[in-house]
Structure 1
Amino acid sequence: METMSSWGAWASGNGMNILYAIIIILVALWLSGFVKAMIVRMGKSYEALDETLFHFLGSLARYAVLAFAGIAVLGRFGVETTSLVALIGAAGLAIGLALQGTLSNLAAGVMLLMFRPFKVGDFVDVAGTGGKVEGITLFTTDLVTFDNQQIIVPNAEIWGTKITNHSHHPVRGVDMIVNVAYGTDIKKAKASIAKVLEANANVLAEPAPFVEVESLGASSVDILVRPFAQGAHYFDVKYSLPQEVYEQFKKDKIEIPFQQIVVHNA
């Protein structure tokens, strides 16, 4: 009975504080939800930005509002919040030091989602790995290689290093070197290459293909061939043209050099 009476006395003495605490909690719950929804809605209005980032920022804002509300409620009942805030700060610092690697991945993920150097579906070279981007999260980027392997790369290894996005531009140049023997009629060789490029359905007429002598090698004349193709057909062109050029050279009797050993009898 004494306990019940003491609780009753505490409740009657703190009736207004309890009422204020309930109001603060209700307002904080509504406000935190409103702030999160507003941030998420803001992300949806910008198609260039990833929604995942705004969901994360919205959750951070929501928990921040609830944390301030909790401190305010404790303050209403006379709890010294200064030491509590200092304790939370110290705990946050300790957790941050313990999770340095994870937090660096998180920071890099935020930067990747904000600046979007690549998006899902792009073919990229990042952190020494090439593949099609299957997913981007706050901590990792998932790639699928040509041989259908899944590669999960931590975001910290991507941000701050060179990123090559092969899918950024819709039209790409496909570089290859064609070697012909010394003594070959270069005009004839270039005309033979032009036949191949015109016959390939994936090679674009505009921009016009570039076919010129690049260098004079030790045993060959090196011709740079750069046709242009849609990004989706890049690898079709890259891996089909060498065989097509070889077959056309055979038809046109153009010699392709190869290593030889010439022995002279004394």
Structure 2
Amino acid sequence: MFNSINSVGGWFAANTVNILYAVAIILIAIWASNFIKKLIVGMGENYEKLDETLFHFLGSIARYAVLAFAGIAVLNRFGIETTSLIALIGAAGLAVGLALQGTLSNLAAGVMLLMFRPYKVGDFVQAADTFGKVDAITLFTTDMITFDNQHIIVPNASIWGAKITNHSHHNIRGVDMVASVAYGTDIKKAKASIAKVLKANKNVLADPAPFVEVETLAASSVDLLVRPFCEGEHYFDVKYSLPQAIYEQFQKDGIEIPFQQIVVHNAK
């Protein structure tokens, strides 16, 4: 027992300098890792256009990277071979990466979404066959609230690898709809009738001016493309209120609204 104590004491005596170096390295590494993390997180907090979630994640990675290098430096200080340890950690990391391939793809997509910000919380977005309001963006998923009040969680990989339509990107939106009239209708009169409806709607902007022109000569109707402009927050109000208002105005002005017709000719 005394021999063991003496050997341990001898080891500490022989490695006093190394122990002091190791303690210094660990203390400096802890301070440096915390400083670097705060610096990176502070970048995300100081600039409104940068996402804080991403910078918290990057700050944590940087912190653990500094601590890992400090641990390797301490082991080297005591003459412990770290090459095999690094190779073992690398192999373990590869195995974990393969096992979590789907999760890591969502993580990578989340980082890209937070960096390039094709949308932000509060935007109305159509992505991954889902249309709704963005409720939250995390490193792995995007939470969306649909118009029928469903909470849908979409993996980020499904969003980043497909088409993204951000309906809230521009403040002013064009609202496309079709107004059909019967053949033989005075088109100028139909346009004037539509103009009355657009002018009466408080959410329709005068500038840019609404666009109303014949788009298609269909089988039993003349289809006019109606495109008023409005602020983004009023998009759905305009989209779903104008068709009824145009229909009612057509009735008042005596403009015929077409319906599908089949003409049968009797053979003689």
The CA deviation string for residues 53-107 of structure 1, in whole angstroms up to 9 with x for no partner, is 1110000000000001111111112211111111111111111111111111111
Equivalent residue of 2:132, what SS?
A: strand
CA distance in 2, matches of 1:105, 1:148: 25
Q: Find the counterpart in structure 1 of residue 76 from structure 2.
A: 75
CA distance in 2, matches of 1:4, 1:152: 60
Could you tell me how far 1:259 is from its partner in structure 2?
1.9
- The alignment's TM-score, normalised by the length of structure 2, stands at 0.96
CA distance in 1, matches of 2:263, 2:103: 62
Q: Find the counterpart in structure 1 of residue 235 from structure 2.
A: 234
Could you tell me how far 1:49 is from its partner in structure 2?
1.5
Equivalent residue of 1:121, what SS?
A: coil
Q: Find the counterpart in structure 2 of residue 203 from structure 1.
A: 204
Equivalent residue of 2:126, what SS?
A: strand
| RMSD of aligned Cα (Å) | 1.2
Matches within 5 A, 1:90-239: 90-239=91-240
CA distance in 2, matches of 1:260, 1:100: 57
CA distance in 1, matches of 2:218, 2:161: 38
What amino acid is aligned across from residue 26 of structure 2 in structure 1? I
- The alignment's TM-score, normalised by the length of structure 1, stands at 0.97
Q: Find the counterpart in structure 1 of residue 261 from structure 2.
A: 260
Q: Find the counterpart in structure 1 of residue 43 from structure 2.
A: 42
What amino acid is aligned across from residue 258 of structure 2 in structure 1? P
CA distance in 2, matches of 1:48, 1:216: 47
Identity %: 77
The unaligned stretches of length 5 or more in structure 1 are none
Equivalent residue of 2:241, what SS?
A: helix
Equivalent residue of 1:214, what SS?
A: strand
What amino acid is aligned across from residue 253 of structure 2 in structure 1? D
CA distance in 2, matches of 1:257, 1:41: 63
CA distance in 2, matches of 1:124, 1:19: 57
What amino acid is aligned across from residue 54 of structure 1 in structure 2? F
Q: Find the counterpart in structure 2 of residue 60 from structure 1.
A: 61
- Asked if structure 1 preserves the Cα contact closer than 8 Å seen for 2:220 and 2:261, the reply is no
The CA deviation string for residues 214-264 of structure 1, in whole angstroms up to 9 with x for no partner, is 111110111110000100000000000010001111111111011234556
What amino acid is aligned across from residue 115 of structure 2 in structure 1? M
Equivalent residue of 2:230, what SS?
A: strand
Q: Find the counterpart in structure 2 of residue 30 from structure 1.
A: 31
- Asked if structure 1 preserves the Cα contact closer than 8 Å seen for 2:44 and 2:52, the reply is yes
CA distance in 1, matches of 2:17, 2:225: 84
The unaligned stretches of length 5 or more in structure 2 are none
Question: Mean alpha-carbon deviation: is it higher for 54-63 or for 35-44?
Answer: 35-44
CA distance in 2, matches of 1:218, 1:261: 10
